[in-house]
Structure 1
Amino acid sequence: MKKFGAVLFLCLLVLGSSFLQSAMAGSSFCDSKCSARCSKAGMQERCLKYCGICCDKCQCVPSGTYGNKHECPCYRDLKNSKGKPKCP
């Protein structure tokens, strides 16, 4: 019974670490894309925050610093509570 518990613990540890690596990889993808997207923004912190939220949800960010939202329909279609575009 102790061996089973140890094996189960090791399996969970391995699965947890692989999940963490994939989550961090997605985060660095969004960080780099949003840094480029928000490079010329007047309110950079706000731009990075909302771009990161949108990227996490959609897994894409349009190219360039403005426009090109047709490249990522999910990013384009996210709206805030007032019905305005959420993503920069």
Structure 2
Amino acid sequence: MKLFRVLTTTGLAVACALASGPALAFPSHERHWEYYADASLSTLVGGREMDCFGDVYVWGQQGPYQVLVYEFPCDPEGPIQP
């Protein structure tokens, strides 16, 4: 009976570990982009930010005319400010 309980418990632990899938990695940098209406980069139409925890914030419109405004390296406590 003890052997059955040990095998069942071990089997459940292995099944749970396999079912959870691979761990997700956090981004290496916090980044902020701004989007413009055209190639002159004179009219701001939107923005996007990805923080060190993988959260993405978007506002306005996105398009091909973009500028990376800032990029900070991440550490476990959050972005490292220069």
TM class by shorter-chain length? 0.3 to 0.5
Q: TM-score, normalised by structure 1?
A: 0.36
Larger radius of gyration: 2
Structure (1 or 2) with the greater helix fraction: 1
> RCO greater where, 1 or 2, for CA within 8 Å and sep 6 or more?
2
More strand by share: 2
